[in-house]
Structure 1
Amino acid sequence: MQPSHRYTRLTAIALGIAGVISFGSAGATGFQIRENSVKNQGRAFAGSAVAKDDASVVSNNPAAMVNLDSTTVRTDVTVIDLTAKFRGGGTSAAGTPLTGGNGGDPGDAQPVPALAIVVPLSGAFDKVTLGASVSAPFGLKTEYDRNWVGRYNAIESDVKTIDLTLSAAVALTDRFSVGFGVIYERAEVTLTSAVDLGSRICAGNPICRSPASPFGPQRNDGLVDVTGDDNGLGWLVGFQFKPTDKLSIGYSHRSEIDHDISGTVDFTVPAAVAGAAAGNPGLAALIADGPGGAKLTTPSVDTLSVSYAFSDNFRMMADVQATDWHSLREVDIRRHNALNTQVGFEDFEWEDTMMYALGAEFDLNDAFTLRAGVAHDETPTNDRTRTPRLPDNDRMLYSVGLTWNASEHLSVDAAYTRIEIDSPKIDVMSNSGSHLVGKYSGHADLFGIAAQYKF
């Protein structure tokens, strides 16, 4: 017989995707974050795998580290500010109208930092370049009002992934280089939602027919809080090819990273429910606290970049990026008991996505460089299964940026990106049996600043 203590098993996205901000990741669709370089941001992330003077290539394409000829340290911070609004309503499991407001603005401004160092070797190893970086490739945070109309689907969602990447590049010729990296990833997840315990208690129970009953739909909400963390390993490989002095082509592949999340599941219940549970073993088991676990896989990412210098002071870049979301299909939450009881199920059916970016740079003089770019980013979500935890949709990105070369050693970058998100629709059932219908509207603003020092 399986142990009777509570054990919650979630499939690939139960703790991963279910913990992202309300429009997925404001910086990219799904829960992907590309903001590890303010220079790249100023071009709408075009040219990320062939960047010539940017230490962030440690994690974007290690083969491009050969573009740096001296030890270089770079630090970036991008603030992602999401503005979102929900309009809609629905019905409880009993068919009564859902109570509550629109949830407020679930997205607060969130800083996304990154740090990278590139070290070209010398002597017998002068064709080798080493690098290290710390970045956050997936996740963000949202929090709705505790009593909003969609509380049975989501209240708080918080996922953080922190990567330590160690990379090496080898210049096989003056025009062709290869690179490889090892990724150590830390994942931390918290998600909460309300549970309509009043409806569950009343299901088939004659006591609830009385107007004096303390139980009923939306009258005895509980709160479930799931937290967990894990460490995982992945890898990164890429190449850079320069057919001519003006043309550069780069490709990189980032692997999937598997996590076995472990943590806890905690219930907060009203006094009336706690009292009823004392004489009801089934209800007591439903709201029992205990250990939990999950399988989380962050997706693989393939990036192809091209850069062409039309003149000494004008360059254009393009990116095509594919993100492998197809393995993130569903949330199946179960207790590890004799009946393998299902606590909840959400069917996401995510699909692979493409991002297309076009950017340009113009050197005004030796001190200042201007940038701009535009990108189209597809969503992995769909109208059939979209939920308030993931009301993501296709988006357009419009970016501007600049670099100030303060000296031959120090440069400072700044960038701004406006993200326009197609309004996603919601038509979904919760694990409490409620039906939520509505529509989101919103946008995101990204403000980035960075500094780079070359020794």
Structure 2
Amino acid sequence: MQKSLGVVLPIVILSTLSQHSFATTGYFMHGYGVKAQGNAGASIAAFNDALTIASNPSGLAWLDSRVDVGATLFNPKRSSEIVGNLAGANGQYSANGREYFVLPEIAINKKVNDSVALGLAVYGNGGMNTSYRNNPYAAFGNTGEAGVDLTQIFVSPSVAWRYSENQSIGVATNFLYQRFEAKGISGFAPFSTDGEHLSNQGKDSSTGIGVRVGWSAKLNDVVTVGANYSSKIKADKFDQYRGLFAQAGSFDVPESYGVGVSVKASHALTLLADIQRINYSDVDSVGNVFSFDSLMAGNAFGSEKGQGFGWKDINVYKVGASYQLNPQLTLRAGYTHNDQPISESQTFLNILAPGVIKDHVSVGATWNIDRAQELSVAYTYGLKETVKGNQSIPTAFGGGEANIEMDQHILGLSYGVKF
């Protein structure tokens, strides 16, 4: 097993870093691990596999030693529309220059004794991708294809301690690797502190470190509760895009936290519910509002209080159910709803990042091959959501409105083995 991991883990890490991801709850994943995806991401108080590190690391203390390897296929449909613009930008634009994205994941849990477990997970925290072959900003002096590509990867070693018969805590260190590219927006250089590092600089990367803390308690044989907290990660700056992001290229990972409950309603049926909070507005490059008045007041792209995407903090509500149909087969379903991070006034710049999906529905299943091995599958549909602009395009750019839209199909497959 150790020799196999020594070969597989580096391959999966390299494969992950070479892929683009496209997440759904804003730009975070809606669920970490294929089993959690089958429950629409509800997993703070449900510990199904070693990917619990990504939601509540205290769950490792309740699991056997195991390895989980999976991959998720994303098929997002992104588009935008500009109407009523006097500069000649009117039209419908497809951002689907690339249609399919594969995001692998791997996690391991090793029980040290009855109280302590050690784990490691490599997975995509989130991301965003748009690729417009027909540039929606062409009327404003921009040429070539337009779009952005953001990938955030976590490598998370962790430890969990079952400090009483029915309670445990866990800590995961989140080592961040993120990569970004923007193209097709060089025409906005007059509004940047460094127009040469606003667009078309290729892929740039940065790193950072943060922590995730989790707690869980089995109140009785029926009810399990959990809570988690992930710190804000102060990442290195994207130096090649210091003319785009506020504070000369700063792009941190926002903090998030949540609570969850699992109720064993019967011998076969388990009901789940989570509430999560993601504080996007605390990251200036994401949360700062795009405003022409602010631009004219000296807050150019890349400046200390530079222009951002105007994303708001969101709450995420998840419910799920798992049903043990027989000893070999478990069925899952779930639904997620989150607040809208993008307001009607902020759609113009978010043509590049239309993370507007609010609702997801999921189904999934796990087949126990034998006592040690299992296969899991999950399918999620991110329901189509449109945000229509309201005073979204500045008069200086011809006025009118930008409308943005997205829906998404997500298919996950994983293999787990106990050892």
The TM-score range, normalised by the shorter chain, is 0.7 to 0.9
SS at match of 1:417: strand
Residues 350 and 295 of structure 1, relative CA distance in 2, 3 Å threshold: same
Pick aligned residue for 1:34 from 25, 30, 50: 30
Distance across 2 between alignment mates of 1:160 and 1:419: 19
Residues 306 and 97 of structure 1, relative CA distance in 2, 3 Å threshold: same
SS at match of 1:30: coil
Residues 171 and 379 of structure 1, relative CA distance in 2, 3 Å threshold: same
1:43-99 CA-to-partner distances (Å, cap 9, x unmatched) read 1111x1222331111221111111113x200012111111233333454xxx54237
Correspondence for 2:312? 351
SS at match of 1:179: strand
1:160-181 CA-to-partner distances (Å, cap 9, x unmatched) read 1111101111111110111111
Distance across 1 between alignment mates of 2:82 and 2:321: 41
| Contact kept? 1:80, 1:444, Cα under 8 Å | yes
Pick aligned residue for 2:368 from 398, 405, 419: 405
Q: Does 1:305 align with 2:300?
A: no
1:35 Cα deviation (Å)?
A: 3.9
Distance across 1 between alignment mates of 2:179 and 2:289: 17
Correspondence for 1:388? 351
Gaps of 5+ in 1: 1-20, 201-222, 267-285, 287-291, 333-339
1:351 Cα deviation (Å)?
A: 2.0
Q: Does 1:110 align with 2:101?
A: yes
Correspondence for 1:17? none
Q: Does 1:163 align with 2:138?
A: no
| Contact kept? 1:82, 1:107, Cα under 8 Å | no
SS at match of 1:253: strand
Residues 258 and 185 of structure 1, relative CA distance in 2, 3 Å threshold: same
Residues 265 and 119 of structure 1, relative CA distance in 2, 3 Å threshold: closer
Q: Does 1:128 align with 2:123?
A: no
Residues 424 and 453 of structure 1, relative CA distance in 2, 3 Å threshold: same
Correspondence for 1:189? 180
1:376 Cα deviation (Å)?
A: 0.7
Q: For 1:71-90, what aligned pairs fall within 5 Å after superposition?
A: 71-89=65-83
Q: Does 1:330 align with 2:321?
A: no
Distance across 2 between alignment mates of 1:350 and 1:102: 22
SS at match of 2:239: strand
| Contact kept? 1:195, 1:432, Cα under 8 Å | no
1:150 Cα deviation (Å)?
A: 6.0
For the pair shown, the structure with the greater C-alpha radius of gyration is 1
CA RMSD of aligned residues (A): 3.0
| Contact kept? 2:66, 2:417, Cα under 8 Å | yes
Residues 35 and 79 of structure 1, relative CA distance in 2, 3 Å threshold: farther
SS at match of 1:403: strand
Correspondence for 2:11? none
| Contact kept? 2:137, 2:185, Cα under 8 Å | no
Distance across 2 between alignment mates of 1:84 and 1:342: 27
Distance across 2 between alignment mates of 1:262 and 1:243: 46
1:232 Cα deviation (Å)?
A: 0.4
| Contact kept? 2:135, 2:184, Cα under 8 Å | no
1:331 Cα deviation (Å)?
A: 7.6
Question: Match of 1:367, as an amino acid?
Answer: Q
**Alignment TM-score, normalising by the size of structure 2:** 0.80
Correspondence for 2:411? 447
Pick aligned residue for 2:169 from 172, 175, 178: 178
Question: Match of 1:51, as an amino acid?
Answer: A
| Contact kept? 1:320, 1:354, Cα under 8 Å | yes
1:330-350 CA-to-partner distances (Å, cap 9, x unmatched) read 289xxxxxxx99457535333
Q: Does 1:137 align with 2:125?
A: yes
Correspondence for 2:225? 249
Residues 82 and 298 of structure 1, relative CA distance in 2, 3 Å threshold: same
SS at match of 2:30: coil
Distance across 2 between alignment mates of 1:231 and 1:160: 12
Correspondence for 2:47? 52
Question: Match of 1:303, as an amino acid?
Answer: G
| Contact kept? 1:404, 1:411, Cα under 8 Å | yes
Correspondence for 1:276? none
Question: How many residues of Structure 1 are paired with residues of Structure 2 in the alignment?
Answer: 371
SS at match of 1:225: coil
Higher RCO (C-alpha 8 Å, min separation 6) = 1
Pick aligned residue for 2:199 from 209, 218, 224: 224
Correspondence for 2:12? none
SS at match of 2:265: strand
SS at match of 2:35: helix
| Contact kept? 2:323, 2:332, Cα under 8 Å | yes
Residues 443 and 100 of structure 1, relative CA distance in 2, 3 Å threshold: closer
Q: Does 1:239 align with 2:220?
A: no
Identical counterparts, % of pairs:
24
1:293 Cα deviation (Å)?
A: 4.6
1:209-233 CA-to-partner distances (Å, cap 9, x unmatched) read xxxxxxxxxxxxxx93144221101
Correspondence for 1:16? none
Residues 431 and 87 of structure 1, relative CA distance in 2, 3 Å threshold: closer
SS at match of 2:29: coil
Higher strand residue share: 1
Higher helix residue share: 2
1:304-335 CA-to-partner distances (Å, cap 9, x unmatched) read 11101112211111111111112132289xxx
Q: Tell me whether 108-117 or 419-428 shows the greater mean CA deviation.
A: 419-428
Correspondence for 2:3? none
**Alignment TM-score, normalising by the size of structure 1:** 0.74
